[in-house]
Structure 1
Amino acid sequence: MPPEKAPAKYRQIADHLRKGILDGTYPAGQPLPSEEILAKQFGVTRPTVRQGIAELRAAGLVEVMMGRGMFVRSPHSRPSLTRPRGVRRTSEGRYVEADGLRWDDAEEPVATRTDAPLALADLLRIPPGEPLYTYDALQTADRGRLRQLHRTYVPFSVLIDTKYEDQAPPPAPRLYAALAELGHELHFIEYLRPRMPLPDQAHALRLPDGVPMFHVLRVTLDETGRPLALEEFHLPGDDLELAYPLLDTK
């Protein structure tokens, strides 16, 4: 039986650093040894070191900061930001985000007409292809430190026989007040999943290589459970956790 072939040098470097990150030898937020030091340690060229580091970046374990070096992103560390999710109603009757953050649009959202794709039509319980009012916004909070992509969808059929039949309603969250004024009692449900961002999403959210994002779909329903609108959020998944209240229905 032939002897097993030794792993490629770049793989040895990646495995060595991965082990050190996971066992705490290299703590989260701390710099890794430089390319020069790793090249000498393993007897390789710096391009080989970069190939090993690329594996760790793709896995979300290392972040490379231009001019500063390579820094650890440990999967065991607690995120620096916890955001409560959901919508609550104030004593004045206003609907506000549970996280209490003030989100500003990079540009004023403009309503466009789109047709409901199959997946969203299913959540909205409308036929695929039904026209929707759609708003897109890049939003920031905390003086630009926090970022999210936010899209609002409102089916035309929800607006029949209302003042919005011939004009676009406002985007969420102002949409909530508009729907309440039409006599709806609002309820909300969210669907959450992590996924890797598309290139334009990674650029807008300023995500490092190998970092996933949260994809959240929020459906606004009336008192009968009929969907009235849908929102789509894309949130950075690098240093953020989301918190949801769980209600005892007994």
Structure 2
Amino acid sequence: MPPKDTQPKYRQIADYLRDGILDGTFPAGQPLPSEEALAKQFGVTRPTVRQGLAELRASGLVEAIMGRGTFARSPHSRPGLTRPRGVRRASDGRYIEADGIRWADAEPPVATRTDAPMALADLLRIPPGEPMFTYDALQTADNGRLRQLHRTYVPFSVLIDSKYEEEAPPPAPELYAALADLGHELHFTEYVRTRMPLPDQAQALRLADGVPLLHVLRVTLTQTDKPLALEEFHLPGDELELSFRL
């Protein structure tokens, strides 16, 4: 008698579908068995089936299309959107994102005072707990199809002996021109990783269950590599890839 599979049912479902996608049983672009059919085949409820599908969605092997069902994706297929990363300065002095996307804030960002947590203080080379101006924005583009969460941090110490001791600096990207006007020559470094979203992030970005985030930290530096500001981007990680020109 073969040994009984002790894995949770949702993982058995994920493994079954993953093997079928990789060996061609479920060709890329073709619909997978319905939730109802999988629930009957494995003797489970539909929420258990959805949990298995969420594992495959997080690894990019399936995609859900509203009103049509769940479809297999090739592990070698290209994402639906490629976004170049980087910042350049236009002839009129404005700083422009390399992807050329024009983002709109869902609400005007308001400066709040926060204290630098350990991880960000390390990147900014400031003491943990130093006060910072912080801006939060949900940004959309392409009639709401594209969404990102964008946060800007500016340490108070960067603004000493400038007009921004008396008034809040603007959020990025307007911040770049403001820093340049203070006499800084700017360049940027980005750090990229993936993680699962918090519930409020998943809701704001309209992420399906099991879809990870791309978490990007951008540090603005002077010509001598002194950090001036930090930005945090949260982007949907299912149909997006980032490209960097080296």
CA displacement 1:109-129 (0-9 Å, x = unmatched): 000000000110111111110
Conserved? CA contact 1:111–1:135, under 8 Å: yes
- Equivalent residues in 2 for 1:1-250, closer than 5 Å: 3-6=2-5, 10=9, 12-38=12-38, 42=41, 45=43, 47=45, 50-60=47-57, 61-64=61-64, 67-246=67-246
For 1:150 and 1:63, how far apart are their aligned partners in 2?
26
Give, in angstroms, the shift of residue 19 of structure 1: 1.3
Whose Rg is larger? Answer: 1
Q: Indicate the percent of aligned positions where both proteins have the same amino acid.
A: 74
Gaps of 5+ in 2: none
Quote the offset at 1:25 in angstroms: 3.2
The TM-score normalised by the length of structure 1 is 0.88
Q: Deviations over 1:56-104 (max 9, x none)?
A: 3134244555653333344332101100001011122321100000000
Counterparts of 1:8 and 1:197 in 2: how far apart (Å)?
25
Instruction: Tell me the SS of whatever aligns to 2:172.
Output: coil
CA change 1:119–1:141 in 2 (3 A) is same
Uncovered stretches (5+) of structure 1, i.e. residues with no partner:
none
Relative distance call for 1:238 and 1:29 in structure 2 (3 A) is farther
TM-score under structure 2 normalisation? 0.89
Question: Cα distance 1:13–1:91, how it changes in 2: closer, same or farther (>3 A)?
Answer: same
CA drift at 1:8: 7.0
> Measured at CA, do residues 243 and 125 of structure 1 come closer, stay the same or move farther in structure 2, by a change above 3 Å?
same
In 2, Cα distance between the equivalents of 1:87 and 1:19? 42
Native 8 Å contact 1:81 1:241 kept in 2? yes
Take 2:37 and 2:236, find their aligned partners in 1: how far apart are those partners?
Answer: 32
Could you say what the CA RMSD is over the residues aligned between the two structures, in angstroms? 2.2
